[in-house]
Amino acid sequence: MKRLRENQALFEERQLFGIRKLKLGVASVAIAAAFSLGTASGHTTVAAESLTSVEPIDGAVMVKSGAADQEQGSNELPEATDISDIAGTSDVTKVSAAVNADTVKEVQPVAAPLIEDQAQEETTDQSQPSSSIVPVTTDSSLETPEATSSEEPIAEQTLRLHFKTLPAQDLSSLGLWVWDDVETPSDQLGGWPTGATNFSLAKTDDYGYYMDVKLSANQANKVSFLINNTKGDNLTGDRTIDLLSPKMNEVWIDGQELSYYRPLAQGYIRINYYRSDGHYDNKSLWLWGSADASMTSQQGAWPDGIDFKQVGRYGAYIDVKLADTNELGFLLLDERQTGDAVKIQPNDYIFKDLKNHTQIFLKDEDPTIYTNPYFVNHVRLIGAKQVSPSSIEASFTTLADVDKESLLKELKISTDSKEAVAITDITLDEKTHKAVITGDFSQAVATYTVTFHHESFQARPSWQYKDSLYAYDGELGARVREAGAKVDLTIWSPSADKVSLVLYDKADQTKVVGKIALTKGDKGEWSTTLSADSGLGISDYRGYFYHYEITRNGKAVLVLDPYAKSLAAWNSELAKTDPSYKVAKAAIVDPAAIGDKELAFADIKGFHKREDAIIYEAHVRDFTSDQAIANDLKAQFGTFAAFVEKLDYLKELGITHVQLLPVMSYYFVNELANKERMLTYSSSDNNYNWGYDPQSYFALTGMYSTDPTDPAKRIEEFKQLVNEIHKRGMGVILDVVYNHTANVDIFEDLEPNYYHFMNADGTARTSFGGGRLGTTHYMSRRVLVDSITYLVDEYKVDGFRFDMMGDHDAAAIEKAFLAAKALNPNIIMLGEGWVTYQGDEHMPEQPADQSWMSQTDTVASFSDDFRNQLKSGFPNEGSPAFITGGARDIMTIFHNIKAQPTNFLADDPGDVIQYIAAHDNLTLFDIIAQSIKKDPSVAANAAEIHRRLRLGNLLVLTSQGTPFLHAGQEYGRTKQFKDEAYKGKVADDKVPNKSHLLVNEDGTPFEYPYFIHDSYDSTDAINHFDWAKATDTERYPESTTSQAFTKGLIALRRSTDAFRLASKAEIDQKVKLITVPNEHGIKAQDLVIAYQTTASNGDVYAVFVNADSNDRTIRLTGEFQALLAGEVIVDAKQAGTEALASPEGVVLTKDGVKLSGLTATIIRLRASQSDKETLGARTDQAAHHQEKLVAAQTAGEVSQFSAKTLPKTGTSQLDALLALAGSGILAGLGGLVSKSKRR
C-alpha cells in the first residue's frame, strides 16, 4: 500500500495509502522506497518562463506605486503600531508564514543580489532582472499562466502560497489540495484528485507561481497542502504551514523548504530593525564575527557604525555580506547618545543560525533576535502535558542557547482557577526541545496551564500519566453468557464524565430500543451487564447492535466499541448524514458458538521454519470476480464462500500460505452493494477497496459476506474459508493495518490524546487521514496484541503481514508474536520494514523496521533491495533492471539471492521476504512492459514479457529466505485500462486515476496505453483474477506456460531444502557464485548470473540465468565442471523436479552452459547413494569431526556434506572405510582429484 507509503526512511514521506474516498492512497510497498519530499517521486522542477532568478535588494517587498513608493524611498517611517502599517497601503502584502519553524530551514534563493551602492535603487522596478543573474529557463512545452508584473493585493482572511518551482508537468494537470484551517477543504470540492484547485488558475510574479487560499473564519492555526495531478499522484507529500500570527498571509515555498519571509541569497543576511516610533535617524549597526571585511570596513571609529539607509516592509534594514556562517555579532546603536547609552540594547546580539536564515528581525529595545517578521519568539512554547503528580513536560520550538534561569523567569504554571503554582525545579533537554517542570501538580480536579511569553497551553494528562494511573488488564468488549441471556460490556475511557450503551434493534439498526448507563471503575473502565432485568424486554441479546455514547465536558459522541467482534452492515456514504452513521455499530455476537467448532491450526507438509513458506497474496473479491467463472460458482462472487470454491487451484499450484489482503472491517465501502459487479473500466469512485483504512481490528468486514446484514454470517463464512484452506494443507496469513486508522476520531472519541502517537503539543499524529496507533501506549498496545491473539485463537489463522510495520515500535510487534506463538507454534509474521517510524514526537524507540532484523528472528521484512535489483522499484519504477535489460551489479544480486540484502543487515535468511511483485504498484507483467517499452498487444512482445517474467519468478523461488508471490504473478496478470475510449493518449483531464502511460521504444503510446499502478479504487474489470489466462492453454499459451513454469518451480523448491537453508552460516557455506565478476567474460555489472546450492542430502542445484537478449555461454571451471554431468530440470519453458530430455534454449558444452537469450536453467547433480551410505556410517571415533566437510566423488561429481546432516545406514565401520577407499579409487581412475575442506 503506497501513499510512500520505502525509504519510503522516509521514502513513500508520507506517500498516501489506500484510504479510498480521501483518495490519498497509494500502495504501502511503494511507500517504502519513497520518503523524499520536494520534487516527489523523482519529478523535476521548473519555474515559469517569465521568471528570473533575480533577488532584488529589497527581497522582502514588492514595490507599489503611489504612496507606497514614496514611503519606501524614505529614510524615516511614520509611526506604526504593527508592521502592516509600515507598508503604508492596505494593498501591500503584510506578512508571511512559517512551517514548523523549529525544524524547517528557510528557503535559499538561486542567486545573490548586488548589495553595494544600491540604496538609490530601492524605488526602481524590482521585477527587472539584474544583469549579473542568469534567468531560470523552463520547458517551453509547459503551459504557463499569464504573468503579472506585480502581485495582486491579498484579500482579507487569505493565505498566499508562493511556489518557486512546480513539478515538471502541464499546469492543467497539477492541482493544489488543501485542508485543515481553510474555508473550504479540497475534499469538499470533489473527490480525489479533482477537488484540488487547478494550477492553470495560478498567477506569477518575479518569484514564481502563487495561489491564494481562503482561511477559516475561526482562528486559523495551520494550513496543510499538497500538489497532486489529475492521475491522482501526490507529487509533494503532505505539507503543513503553521500560522504564527493572525496577520500572517504569505508563505514562500521552494521545493521542500518553506519560509515565512521572502528568501534572500546565500552569503548574506538582512538585519531588519523595526521601531514603534518610526525614527531611524542616527541609528546604526556595529558588526563583528562572521561579517565580511567589506562590511566591517564601512565602520568608523567607535561608535560610528553602518547607518540604516534602506527601508522595507519590516522597518529599516541593512544587508550584511558574510565571510562564513559561524556566528554573527552586532549591536544596535543610537549615535546621538554618548557612553554606554549609545547602545540601544546594552547586551551583544549574537546570531548563530546563519545557515538556515537569510533575514532576522529586531524591534525597539527588545533583546530578542527573531527569525520571523511577526516578532514571535523563536523559542516558543508549543505544547504541554502532565506526566506525573509532580511533573509537567513542556515542549518548545527549540532550547538551543537557552539557560535554566532565563526560562524560569518567563515560565508560569497556574490552575484553572488562575492560582499560581510554584515551580521547584526545571530540567532542560536541548536535543528533544523539552523542559520537565517539577512542582506540586497533584490536585485531582485541577487542570494546569503552562504560560511562556504570552503563549499558554493546557497541560493535558499525557499518555504516560494515564498509563500510570489507569492501565487496565481486565476484559473489554461484549461477552455473551447463557445463550445470549446476559451480556457483559466494558469500555475504557478514563476522561469520560458519563458513558451509556445505546442499543439498536437486530432487525433495524436505525431503531433505538434502549439506553443503559455504565458504571465507572477505578482504572477508567466503564461496565454494565445486560440481562432480563435491564427492562428492555429482550431474552436473547445476540444479533442486536450498539454504540457507546461518551459524554465529556458536556459534549456527547457516539463511538464504536474497539473490541467489537462483529458489526452491522456498513455504508460509508452515510457517514456524514447523521452522528449515528459516523462509525459502524457493534454487534453482540458469541463467535465461539458460530461456525465450525472443530477448526484447528494448519498442518502444512514440509513447513517447519519460516524459510519453508511460499506465500501467495490474494484479494478476496478479486479471486472470484471474473465474470467468466460466474456460472461455475455456487456462492456469490467476491465472498469468503466463493473463495473456497477456487481453493483447489492454489493447492495444485503448491503454495504453502494464502495471504489475504485486509479482511477486517474497513471504512470506505458500501457493504450492502457488494453483489453489484463493476464491469466497466474505472479507477476511481468505485465500491471497491483493498482495505487499508480500518475501523475495527476485531470485526470482519461485511464486504466479503453473502449477507452483510447478518453479523454472524461473516464469522461463519470466514471460519469455513480458513478450515477449507487448512484441509488442503495450506495456512492463512492476514494482512493487518495497525499503522493508521481510517479516521482519527475512531479512537480520539474514545479517549482524547491517548490512543495515537502524539505530537509535542499533545495532538494526535495522523497518517492518510487517520490516526497513527500509538503502540508504545499501554492500552493502544493492548488493542494490537489483544486483536492478534483473538484472531489466532478464534479463527486459527497461521500468520500476519503488518502494513507499514516500520511505523510500529519493535517491542509491540515482538509481544504480539510471542502471544500468537503461544497459541500457534507455527505462526509466521512478516511486514513492510521500511524506515518510517515517527512515534511520539521527540521520543525515539527501536522501530520494527529493517534495522531491527539483525536483532530478531520473529518477524521478517520485505526486501526492497532484491525487488529493485531485479525489476526496479520506487522511485525509479520502470527503469531497466536485471530482468528488464538493465545490467546490474552481480555481487549485489548474489548477496540478495543469499538473503543478505545490501541495504539492511539480516542475520538469518528468515528475516528476508523475497519478492518482486505485490498489490502495490504495477503488476510484474505491466512493469516489464513499461521497462522494455514493448506493447503486449503484439504477440512477439507478449512472448518476450513472459520470458522475462519467468526469469523473475525463477529468481524469487530459487533464492534463500521466504518467497512471496502476488496473485496472478504466475500467469502474467495485468491491470491494463482496456476501455475503447482510451485507445491512444487522452487529454490530461481524462487520464485515469492512478495510471501510468506506457509507450513504445519510439515514444508512441501503446494501443491501450494506460495501466493502473495502484488499483485500490478500481473496478472488477481491472482487478479481477483472469481465470482463462491462468488455465486455458489453447487461448493463452504464453500465460499458461508461465503458470506451469511457476508451478514447477514451486514444486522444485518444496522438494529440496537447497533453496531454503536455515541459517546464514549454512548459506555462506553451501551457496556459491559461479559467475564471478571479471572472470571468463563476466562483467561486474552484467545480465547473466549463475550460482549453486547444496541440499542437506548432498544434491547440488545450479541455477543459470541469462537476462540478456543475446545467447550467452557460462564457462564452468574447477569444481563447477562436475555440473556438466548433472540433469537439466528447468529450461526456457519448463520447470519441475524431473529431468528434461530435450531442454529448450539450453546446451551443455564441454566446458560450460550455453543459454539462449532470456533463458534460465537449473542443473541438478545428485549425490550417489553409495556416497550417502558411506558417509552415513561414520563411527563414534570421528564424532569430533562432525563439522568437517567430506568430499564425495563419483565420476568427477563433487558434492559437499556436513556429517551431522547425513542419514545413518547401519553399515559397519569396516564397510564404511572400504567404501570410502573404493570411491577414492574410482575417482582416481576418472582422473579427478578433490580435497576435503574444513570451513
Quickly count: other Cβ atoms within 10 Å of residue 844's Cβ: 11
pLDDT band at 935 (very low <50, low <70, confident <90, very high): very high
pLDDT in tens, 144-176: 333 334 578 999 999 999 999 999 898 889 999
pLDDT confidence bin for 379, thresholds 50/70/90: confident
Among 96-105, 275-284, 286-295, 626-635, the minimum mean pLDDT is found in 96-105
Segments making up each domain of the chain, as ranges: 158-259, 268-370, 381-461, 468-589, 610-1037, 1069-1171
Q: Where are the alpha helices (DSSP H) in 1024-1158?
A: 1027-1031, 1037-1055, 1064-1070
Distance, in Å, from the CA atom of 3 to the CA atom of 1, rounded to the nearest integer, reads 7
C-alpha cell at 431: 536535543
Which residues, at least 6 apart from 980, have a Cβ–Cβ distance to it below 8 Å? none
Q: Which CATH fold would you assign to the domain 610-1037?
A: TIM Barrel (3.20.20)
Tell me if 381-461 shares its fold with 468-589.
yes
pLDDT tens digit string along 105-149?
333 333 323 333 333 333 333 333 332 322 223 333 333 333 334
Helix (H/G/I), strand (E/B), else coil: 946: helix
H or E element in which residue 866 lies: helix 864-871
DSSP per-residue string spanning 1048-1109: HHHHHHHH-STTS-S-HHHHHHHEEESS-TTSTT--SEESEEEEEEE-TTS-EEEEEEE-SS
The mean pLDDT of 74-79, rounded to a whole number, is: 30
Question: 468-589 in CATH: which number?
Answer: 2.60.40.10
Residues 6+ apart with CB under 8 A from 1141: none
Tell which residue, 985, 911, 957, has the closest CA to residue 1162. 957
55 — phi, psi (to 5°)? Answer: -115, 110
Pick left, alpha or beta for residue 575 (phi over 0 → left; psi -120 to 50 → alpha; otherwise beta): alpha
Choose the catalytic residue: 561, 617, 693, 803. Answer: 803
Q: 179 and 216 in contact (C-beta within 8 Å)?
A: no
- The per-residue pLDDT for range 936-971, each reduced to its tens digit, is 999 999 999 999 999 999 999 999 999 999 999 999
Q: What is the model's pLDDT at position 192?
A: 82
Q: What is the pLDDT of residue 1171?
A: 52
Higher local confidence (pLDDT), 1177 or 359: 359
What is the Cα–Cα distance from 1036 to 1029, expressed in whole angstroms?
6
Q: May I ask the CATH class of domain 1069-1171?
A: mainly beta
φ/ψ of residue 492, rounded to 5? -105, 120
At 68, is the pLDDT very low, low, confident or very high (cuts 50, 70, 90)? very low
447 vs 924, higher pLDDT: 924
Split at pLDDT 50, 70, 90, the class of 422 is: very high
pLDDT reported for residue 455: 81
Say how far apart CA 962 and CA 915 lie, in whole Å: 9
Q: Tell me the average pLDDT across 629-657.
A: 99
Mean pLDDT rounded to a whole number for the chain? 84
Cell numbers at 479, concatenated: 461477552
pLDDT category of residue 231 using cuts at 50, 70 and 90: confident
State the pTM of this model.
0.73
Per-residue confidence (pLDDT) for residue 17, from 0 to 100: 34
CATH number of 268-370: 2.60.40.1110
Residue 347 CB burial class (10 angstroms; 0-12, 13-18, ≥19): exposed
Question: Among the options 55, 353, 832, 841, which is catalytic?
Answer: 832
pLDDT value at position 142? 31
pLDDT at site 89: 30
The C-alpha atoms of residue 810 and residue 797 are separated, in whole angstroms, by 22
Provide the pLDDT for residue 445.
Answer: 64
What is residue 150's predicted lDDT score, i.e. its pLDDT? 54
State the pLDDT at residue 256: 82
Q: What is the CA radius of gyration of the chain?
A: 35
Which stretches of 803-885 are assigned E, i.e. beta strand?
Answer: 828-831, 859-862
Q: Output the nine-digit C-alpha cell for 209.
A: 507561481
Asked if pLDDT for residue 55 goes beyond 90, the answer is no
HSE-up (13 A, CA, CB side) for residue 1222: 11
**Using an 8 Å Cβ cutoff, are 76 and 280 in contact?**
yes
Q: Looking at residue 444, what is its pLDDT?
A: 66
| Highest-pLDDT range among 364-373, 761-770, 783-792 | 783-792
Question: Residue 136 is placed in which grid cell?
Answer: 531560470
In CATH terms, is domain 381-461 a member of 2.60.40.1220? yes
Residue 249 has pLDDT above 50, yes or no: yes
Strand partners, 460: 385
Poorest-pLDDT segment among 55-64, 308-317, 715-724: 55-64
pLDDT in tens, 1026-1051: 999 999 999 999 999 999 999 999 99
Q: Name the band, by pLDDT with cuts 50, 70 and 90, for residue 35.
A: very low
Give the model's confidence band at 443: pLDDT under 50 very low, under 70 low, under 90 confident, else very high. Answer: confident
Is 832 noted as a catalytic residue in this protein? yes
What is the structure's pLDDT at 232?
86
Smallest CA-to-CA distance from 800 within 782, 781, 821, 783 is with: 821
pLDDT digits (tens, 9 = 90+) for 673-714: 999 999 999 999 999 999 999 999 999 999 999 999 999 999
Give 558's strand partners.
549
Find out whether 270 and 358 touch, Cβ atoms under 8 Å.
Answer: yes
Q: Tell me: pLDDT of 92 over 50.
A: no
Quote the CA–CA distance of 429 and 404 in Å, as a whole number.
11
Which residues partner with 370 through β-bridges? Answer: 361
Residue 1106: the pLDDT is: 99
Give me the phi and psi of 529, to 5 degrees please.
-130, 125
Provide mean pLDDT across the span 727-738.
98
Which of these ranges, 41-55, 509-523, 579-593, 704-718, has the smallest mean pLDDT?
A: 41-55
Pairing of strands 250-254, 257-259: antiparallel
Digit-coded pLDDT (tens) for 277-321: 999 999 999 999 999 999 999 999 999 999 999 999 899 999 999
More confident residue, 1200 or 449: 449
- pLDDT band for position 43 (cuts 50, 70, 90): very low
Which of the four pLDDT bands, split at 50, 70 and 90, describes residue 1101?
A: very high
Predicted local confidence at residue 18, as pLDDT = 36
Confidence at residue 341, expressed as pLDDT on a 0 to 100 scale? 93
Return the CATH fold of 158-259: Immunoglobulin-like (2.60.40)
Interhelix angle 778-795/810-823, nearest 10 degrees = 30
Write phi, then psi, for 307 (nearest 5 degrees): -70, 150
User: In which band, very low, low, confident or very high, does the pLDDT at 1231 lie, cut at 50, 70 and 90?
Assistant: very low
Q: Determine the distance from the C-alpha atom of residue 885 to the mean position of all C-alpha atoms in its chain, rounded to a whole number.
A: 29
The pLDDT value recorded for residue 51 is 30
Tabulate helix, strand, coil % of the chain (nearest 5). 25, 25, 50
Higher confidence at residue 1062 or residue 597? Answer: 1062
d(CA 1019, CA 1013): 13
